[in-house]
Structure 1
Amino acid sequence: MDNWENQRRDWRDYLILSGKGVMMGAADAVPGVSGGTIAFMTGIYEELIGSLKRCGPEAVQVLFKEGIGPTWRYVNGPFLLTLLLGILFSVTTFARGVLFLLANYPEMLWSFFFGLILASSWLVARQIEDWRGNAFTAFLTGTVLAYMVTSIAPAAVEPTSLMVFFSGMIAICAMILPGISGSFILLLLGMYAPILGAVKSMDIPVLALFAVGCVIGLLSFSRVLNWMFASYRVTTLALLGGFMLGSLNKVWPWKYTTAYTINRHGEEVPLVQENILPGSYEIMTGQNAYLSISLALMVLGAILVIVLARSAGTKPSQG
């Protein structure tokens, strides 16, 4: 029995849970921030992975043998539905505000997320008592892999039906990995703008195809993660902590664009960027680095993570 199965939630708990879903949806809208990081730091990550893992053939067997009610409880339906509604609400509402901030105040938004992810990585590291052997190797591996992924230049591809489907499978796996951004994976695949455009225009065929890919990828990858937590918990924690630390390369607030591309609307958008110091940023771009405000937002993000982790029982990886 999983350690989250004995939980009993009232309406206040579900209200808080929906808020966590809103935060996950807003984070996933930004190319570089993972909704999995939000789930991790708010204490629902293992419950999320364990619940998703149950949405498979076993659930179908329970449905035929015992009926709808037991099946709903078996897959932790109230938890998943509440979280999903929060994510969908965020994607269709608050995510627009996040994208507005990303376009107009990127230094401040990236600073806030930088603080969030840095503190989350630190909290994960605190849970690992013995850093010898596999734990250190896993942490270092996760850091290097995330750094390498976030250093890859985005591609430009034709948004075919097959590409929409496979991008959903791949991106959803990243979205539930702390530190690996599903939106950034879409950006690397050249599918970020087409999918975001489909969301804004409510292009149902494209969204449905993308959703099918997401469901297949989610149900498959959640089983892998659940097995990793059950069999190699400390090593898995170290690996995920490394993912978060390495992803800081992507969310560094001050970037200099060295190459641009033209999106399908004829707009010039950054293609390749390099991280620079705030002073160099002002000289090279002629723009205000907003250093004081940005540092304050970094601290605010870090404090928010610590507060959320303490409210979740100081164990950001447990439900």
Structure 2
Amino acid sequence: MSQSDNQVSLSAVTGSHHFGQRLDQVLADLFPEYSRSKLKTWILDGNVSVNGAVLTTPRQKMFGDEQIEIEARVEVQVSSQPQKIALDIVYEDDSILVINKPADLVVHPGAGNHDGTILNALLAHVPNIDTVPRAGIVHRLDKDTTGLMVVAKTLSAQTHLVDQLQNRVMSREYEALVMGTMVAGGEVDAPIGRHATKRTLMAVRETGKPAVTHYRVMEKFRAYTHLRLKLETGRTHQIRVHMAYIKHPLVGDPVYGGRPRLPRGASPEFVEALRGFNRQALHAVQLSLFHPETDEWMTWQAPLPDDMVHLIGQVREDTRQNPDFDL
């Protein structure tokens, strides 16, 4: 991990429309790539000067035509160690990194996973990303969920991406195999919060945060359905919780799905494929966002991983072998 801090040097001139506004409000307008809390901290720490004089009062009123200068350091934000872990990089430039996450890889260190994570890999791959909170990780995928993730390589890029997430601008689409035959698409609009008794799990709760998941049917089988889903919000375990809530849990989900329910007359090959699939059948297939520097709308796609392709193929064959089932 690099112990050096990043120097930030910014300058701008206030306009007539800033007359009467507070210093912190003016900085938020002039430097929108940085969070309001970060700008306020820089003011309080004496990193902001106006017409050559250091100001440490965020509420100081501006008049217009002032020369603003900021000289600050961005401190190291993470304490984990860099590790040489291969990343499947879909796209990379100076601002962002898009990766295709495999199964069985944790995004962020936590209980039972202190290293060997995507965060550790990012610290080795991107110099100075330790100055960006959470090493630039702005959204997560569960350990056994595969697919696309975007990482911010700079503090300003992270501010933009977090803003897109919070304002529901960033688009994230998934594919999943769920239990039961669904007749049509729809949406689940149900708040999600911590489970009342199992604190490591999430659940639909009236006191939870708003959560909306849209879904459409891609292919129906005699006991399962292949879905395309789009997140409107991004709560922890949202798709897994919502699908279980409407009685169509994800295949292979050991937490929210329960034991696999085998259809009558399933072939040995199908039984083996289903029981051998030891993760939730969920893949982040498409990611779209506005680039934080160019403002270009960009989209990336990641095809289904081999294990899901094989599983869906076996489900399709099981349906073919049971033609009396009415889809």
Question: TM (normalized to structure 1)?
Answer: 0.24
Q: Which has the higher Rg, Structure 1 or Structure 2?
A: 2
Structure (1/2) with the larger strand percentage: 2
Question: TM (normalized to structure 2)?
Answer: 0.24
Structure (1/2) with the larger helix percentage: 1
Relative contact order (C-alpha < 8 Å, sep 6+): which is higher? 1
